[in-house]
Structure 1
Amino acid sequence: MAHVLKLGKHDDVAVALQPVNAGEFIPELQLTALSDIPAGHKLALQAIDTGSPVRKFDQIIGFATQPIAKGQHIHTQNLAVADFERDYAIGTNTFITDAPQLTQHETSFDGFVRPDGRVGTRNYVGILTTVNCSASVARRIAAHFTPEILSAYPNVDGVVAITHGTGCGMAEHGEPANLLRRVFSGYATHPNFASVLLLGLGCETNQIDHLVPLIGQPGTVAALAIQEEGGTTATIKSGIAKIYEMLQQANAVTRSSVPASHLVIGLQCGGSDAYSGISANPALGVAVDRLVRAGGTAILSETPEIYGAEHLLTRRAAHPEIAHRLIERIHWWEEYTARHKGSIDNNPQPGNKAGGLTTILEKSLGAVSKGGTTNLNAVYLYAEQVRQRGLVFMDSPGFDPVSATGQVAGGANLICFTTGRGSVFGCKPTPSIKLASNTALFRRMSDDMDLNCGSIIDGEETVEQSGAAIFKEILAIASGKLTRSELHGFGEEEFQPWLQSATL
């Protein structure tokens, strides 16, 4: 295993793959470390003047805030973000890609085909609360359906209560309300739900009557309001009866073999470290390229975490308007954070920095690699229904539960989640695959990780080989193999719609 890794031909830094001690000679670079370099952190390959750009991945990750000597540790003490012009070069990296030579068996999975032609990777019955005030009743209804009761319905993955902390105390009209309704209509019609019970209190802002026209599938959606039913006890009784009816219908549906073109995968990274952009993220990008060439869809999101790397996406925009739409969302976020007296570069988080990520530019360059190399075919608002196939982008915050909720509302029937520091995220009704960026994490949290991409860092596997393994795992989990978070039963508490409005 090498001591360090230089990632770009013109880079000013190398990444320590294992701890380097001050005074240690590094033969690969023919230099001596002037300070301790923790694993995953950066050291200077040459002297850098104050104010000069610092490059990693052949891209600017920040500017020196003081003179940096050759062999010195580069991190928050001497590197920061500053304004600089991006070359968007719209559409210059688009190309027509040929499908890889894979057999039908290698690009198919066993899924649940719905009446509208979409395909689920799971077969849940859902209870979707329109407001926090109906959360307890929803949980009581779901709790009735114990494993013993559900054993009579072997084709059903479970009864899921999706609860949250909003739905009222907000303006009834405007984009924040429309955004919330997009989330609920997307979940109510999600292909991983055989059917859904909408459960409200009755007087909330997020009225069931406003949602029904957006849903448009009355055969798979039922509704109850606690005030109309006569209170808690009566609603629980009615809700249990409706869920029994839904279970009968859901159990009649079985898995069948379908092409991978029916997969819509949300791409997430959380608890990232410096290894994420070297191993797990680019390996996931290889899997995404395979999926796209098989006719499937991948959703890249987390707008604040592609900030500073958006020019790599605009170059891949299939049409100029797609690039302009992405740039517009970047400007919206700059204004949004300024309006709330924040900054879009208030990232990475403490755990990211401990793992070697110094600036949002560095973090974004690694995050973008999850999207592979194919063309960018569309840009969506948060929780909009994803209709375009291929690689697309959905505007969202970087906070994983909020971002993933938008992707699932948009139709993602599977989540791929890379992590370097560790994550235990679940996302019912959509399975979430955890991809560890380093072997130490995979061993330490083996109970939560699905695949180890640290084998790339260890020199045991190439990025392409790891990506092929991820794609194979995607098909297996889409066919019913349980993820680690599913084995733990995670995924109901993580539903977090994006709240843009003031709480009134």
Structure 2
Amino acid sequence: MALIDHTTEAPASIIRLHERDDVVIARVPLPKGTEVLPGIVLTGAVPAAHKIAVRDLRTGDMIRRYGQIIGRATQPIAPGDHVHVHNLSIGDLEGAGHEQDYAIGSEVTPVERISPTATFMGIQRTDGRVATRNYIGILTSVNCSATVAHAIADHFRRDVHPEAMAPYPHVDGVVALTHGVGCAVAADGEALQMLQRTLAGYARHANFAAVLVIGLGCETNQIDALIESQGLKPGPKLHPFTIQQIGGTTKAIAEGIRHIKQLLGEANQVERTPCSAEHLRVALQCGGSDGYSGITANPALGVAVDRLIAHGGSAVLAETPEVYGAEHLLTRRAVSPAVAHKLIERIHWWEEFCRVRGASLDNNPSAGNKVGGLTTILEKSLGAVAKAGTTPLVEVLEYAEPMRERGLAFMDSPGFDPVSVTGQVASGCNLIAFTTGRGSAFGCAPVPSMKLSTNTALWRHQSDDMDINCGVLTDGDVNLEQLGEQIFQRFLTLASGERSQSERHGYGQQEFVPWQIGVIT
């Protein structure tokens, strides 16, 4: 089910997405009195990327964008009126199961594989996996060991101690990924299991040549239990120890530095070689979204995802609250009823999770999303799913659950970007494609993160954080297929070692945020 018809004609001042829509989108800021369509004159000024009514709407009427319902009118709306938070709401649609026709599997189409497969210059590990970066990682079992972990990593910072890493040009860095939990949770509960699954996903990630795991010693998240439950194997490349075992902070820092010095020589002995694009697993994200997200960057990324999967690669959509109200577009592409029902089950879990806490899924969009033109979570979700292209949905994952299939997967997670990306990387993603309309600043060691600007104004204003300008689509400079191909080609160059903007700025260590789902006692 195509959400956007990019061939639909409309005057230069607006974007018309679907013939069934009750609204059009302002392409640029428009003053009061602008005639946007024959006989439709703006009753007030409308910011860029915001919605304009094109027909009379009564209180309670459904309002459509992308040909899909995004909410109800909360008051009478006339043609030419600005449609936003003052007259549009999700209303009684939340919690009603959306009454959507899930039509499970009705739009599954076979993937036409492209041959020869595209290649990138990757790092082949001895176990057959392929890395896009080559880091040494320091993980912590509990927040109490975070200071030690960062002190060890700081010893190898190129900007502070360039001499420490100068002999090892093929090692991208030593990074400490710390968190704020690991104790005061049930030892046999879901929260600890989720944290351990996340840590294990990073410990075995192909982009780490080796990993230290550091604990305090008395925490609930015991390292021995973590290693046993997750099937990890201690050794030179997975070195666990605790501060209490070693004899205190100073000795623990010295032990970490000593061990990494022993590892660096071997970690540096890598060479990039041509590797099939089937080894790429791209985490799909949007943050700081705006009214352009579902028109430019997200659908263009979706085209790139379709290309990647046709070359044998994989992509992971996430952020369950940001597919809420659009999940029926994914169930139609599910390869089996089991896959579809697992997604529906996660939607229902989030409805109940919010209900018992007196929260609303419509709390997302954020304040910045609303300034950018998004009004309800249904509207935001309909634009967000465009990142996933059109290929079949092959599996639905729990948070940080390892990927098993090639193709398009969905991973359950919150809509908060650092938490969601942390889970996707733990699942095995080795690239991140992140669309933004408001100007997100984000990175995620040990995986390169590519930023896609939804509009040209953002590209010009915050260009040193952006990698690709998708605003060229509404500027008329390229078409959707051309832009999707450009994004796909950037997948290959980033995977080959070209640094993204967020990597140049040093983002990544602070953005490791495992989902904290449990009760802290």
**TM-score per shorter chain, which class?**
over 0.9
Alignment of 1:118 with 2:129, yes or no, is: yes
- Residue in structure 1 matching 2:368, options 348, 351, 365: 351
Match of 1:195 in 2: 210
**Structure 2 residue identity aligned to 1:114:** R
Shift of 1:215: 4.3
- CA–CA separation in structure 2 for the residues paired with 1:147 and 1:388: 41
| 8 A Cα contact 2:123 2:130, kept in partner | yes
Shift of 1:256: 1.2
- CA–CA separation in structure 1 for the residues paired with 2:323 and 2:26: 24
Match of 1:50 in 2: 59
- CA–CA separation in structure 2 for the residues paired with 1:152 and 1:339: 56
- Residue in structure 2 matching 1:166, options 166, 181, 199: 181
- CA–CA separation in structure 1 for the residues paired with 2:341 and 2:256: 47
| 8 A Cα contact 2:55 2:79, kept in partner | yes
| 8 A Cα contact 1:121 1:479, kept in partner | yes
Shift of 1:91: 0.6
Shift of 1:269: 0.2
Q: Which runs of 5 or more residues in structure 2 are unaligned?
A: 1-10
Cα distance per residue 1:101-141 (max 9 Å; x no partner): x654xx11111112222111000000111111111111111
**Structure 1 residue identity aligned to 2:14:** V
**For residues 314 and 483 of structure 1, do their structure 2 counterparts lie closer, same or farther at Cα, with a shift above 3 Å needed?**
same
**Structure 2 residue identity aligned to 1:6:** R
Alignment of 1:256 with 2:273, yes or no, is: yes
- CA–CA separation in structure 2 for the residues paired with 1:36 and 1:431: 40
**Structure 2 residue identity aligned to 1:89:** A
Cα distance per residue 1:169-228 (max 9 Å; x no partner): 211111111101000000000011011000111011111101212143434201111001
**Structure 1 residue identity aligned to 2:126:** P
For structure 1, which segment, 357-366 or 136-145, has the greater mean C-alpha deviation from structure 2 after superposition?
136-145
**2:464 is paired with a residue of what secondary structure?**
coil
- Residue in structure 2 matching 1:178, options 185, 193, 201: 193
- Residue in structure 1 matching 2:102, options 38, 63, 88: 88
Cα distance per residue 1:347-397 (max 9 Å; x no partner): 111100000001000000000000000000000000000111100000000
Report matched runs for 1:45-444 at 5 Å: 45-81=54-90, 82-83=92-93, 84-100=98-114, 103-104=116-117, 107-145=118-156, 146-213=161-228, 214-219=230-235, 220-444=237-461
- CA–CA separation in structure 1 for the residues paired with 2:186 and 2:83: 47
**1:92 is paired with a residue of what secondary structure?**
coil
Match of 1:19 in 2: 29
- CA–CA separation in structure 1 for the residues paired with 2:126 and 2:358: 47
| 8 A Cα contact 1:438 1:453, kept in partner | yes
- CA–CA separation in structure 2 for the residues paired with 1:48 and 1:99: 46
Match of 2:7 in 1: none
- CA–CA separation in structure 2 for the residues paired with 1:248 and 1:157: 13
Q: TM-score, normalised by structure 1?
A: 0.98
**1:155 is paired with a residue of what secondary structure?**
coil
- CA–CA separation in structure 2 for the residues paired with 1:389 and 1:466: 24
**Structure 2 residue identity aligned to 1:25:** E
Cα distance per residue 1:295-347 (max 9 Å; x no partner): 11100000000000000000000111100000000000001111221011211
| 8 A Cα contact 1:264 1:414, kept in partner | yes
- CA–CA separation in structure 2 for the residues paired with 1:461 and 1:99: 25
| 8 A Cα contact 1:414 1:430, kept in partner | yes
Report matched runs for 1:451-470 at 5 Å: 451-470=468-487
Match of 2:8 in 1: none
- CA–CA separation in structure 2 for the residues paired with 1:114 and 1:211: 24
Shift of 1:37: 1.0
**1:377 is paired with a residue of what secondary structure?**
strand
- CA–CA separation in structure 2 for the residues paired with 1:217 and 1:265: 27
**For residues 427 and 215 of structure 1, do their structure 2 counterparts lie closer, same or farther at Cα, with a shift above 3 Å needed?**
farther
- Residue in structure 2 matching 1:9, options 16, 19, 22: 19
| 8 A Cα contact 1:189 1:215, kept in partner | no
Match of 2:3 in 1: none
| 8 A Cα contact 2:234 2:240, kept in partner | no
| 8 A Cα contact 1:5 1:14, kept in partner | yes
- CA–CA separation in structure 2 for the residues paired with 1:110 and 1:19: 44
**2:20 is paired with a residue of what secondary structure?**
coil
For structure 1, which segment, 455-464 or 310-319, has the greater mean C-alpha deviation from structure 2 after superposition?
455-464
**Structure 2 residue identity aligned to 1:92:** S
Shift of 1:29: 4.7
- CA–CA separation in structure 2 for the residues paired with 1:117 and 1:339: 46
**Structure 2 residue identity aligned to 1:99:** R
- Residue in structure 1 matching 2:502, options 485, 498, 501: 485
**Structure 2 residue identity aligned to 1:70:** P
**2:490 is paired with a residue of what secondary structure?**
helix
Q: Which runs of 5 or more residues in structure 1 are unaligned?
A: none
Shift of 1:98: 1.2
Shift of 1:253: 2.0
| 8 A Cα contact 1:273 1:357, kept in partner | yes
**For residues 256 and 71 of structure 1, do their structure 2 counterparts lie closer, same or farther at Cα, with a shift above 3 Å needed?**
same
**Structure 2 residue identity aligned to 1:88:** Y
| 8 A Cα contact 1:123 1:155, kept in partner | yes
- CA–CA separation in structure 2 for the residues paired with 1:493 and 1:29: 52
- CA–CA separation in structure 2 for the residues paired with 1:131 and 1:255: 35
- CA–CA separation in structure 1 for the residues paired with 2:323 and 2:102: 13
For structure 1, which segment, 111-120 or 398-407, has the greater mean C-alpha deviation from structure 2 after superposition?
111-120
- CA–CA separation in structure 2 for the residues paired with 1:423 and 1:152: 34
Shift of 1:30: 4.3
| 8 A Cα contact 1:224 1:239, kept in partner | no
- CA–CA separation in structure 1 for the residues paired with 2:66 and 2:205: 38
Cα distance per residue 1:434-481 (max 9 Å; x no partner): 000000101111110011000001111111111100001110000000
Moved over 2 A (4+): 215-220
| 8 A Cα contact 1:189 1:217, kept in partner | no
For structure 1, which segment, 210-219 or 74-83, has the greater mean C-alpha deviation from structure 2 after superposition?
210-219
Count of residues in Structure 1 that have an aligned counterpart in Structure 2? 500
